[in-house]
């Protein structure tokens, strides 16, 4: 049976929708670049996660969404490690149902 492949953009939208339903304010942290008028404009910094999720009385999360076959770049690995070391909850999610760590923390703060 073939493995289901979920593109990163679909996973990102599903995660953003799920967290919004859980009461989080979710911000897309655009990084990368674009070409405009023959110039390349860089936005953000390398390795910055895709989403910032904030909710009252709950920890802040920085989430890096990946497709089912996606892998973190070295810069992304370093940034997630730095965020976690600073106590800011860097999380990698390949699907909404892989957000166990986030869901556990959400439940802890509901009580």
Q: How confident is the model over 37-64, as pLDDT tens digits?
A: 888 888 778 899 999 999 887 888 899 9
Q: How far is CA 13 from CA 9, 37, 51, in A?
A: 6, 30, 10
Lowest mean pLDDT among 2-6, 26-30, 84-88: 2-6
pTM of the model: 0.78
The rounded distance, in Å, linking the Cα atoms of 24 and 8 is 21
Per-residue confidence (pLDDT) for residue 53, from 0 to 100: 92
């Amino acid at each position: 049976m073939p493995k289901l492949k979920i593109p990163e953009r679909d996973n990102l939208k599903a995660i953003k929708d799920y967290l919004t339903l859980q009461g989080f304010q979710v911000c897309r942290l655009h990084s990368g670049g674009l070409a405009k008028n023959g110039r390349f404009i860089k936005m953000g910094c390398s390795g910055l996660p895709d989403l910032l999720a904030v909710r009252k009385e709950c920890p802040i999360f920085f989430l890096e969404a990946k497709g089912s076959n996606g892998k973190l770049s070295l810069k992304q690995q370093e940034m997630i490690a730095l965020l976690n070391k600073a106590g800011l909850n860097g999380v990698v999610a390949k699907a909404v149902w892989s957000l166990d760590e986030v869901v556990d923390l959400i439940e802890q703060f509901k009580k």
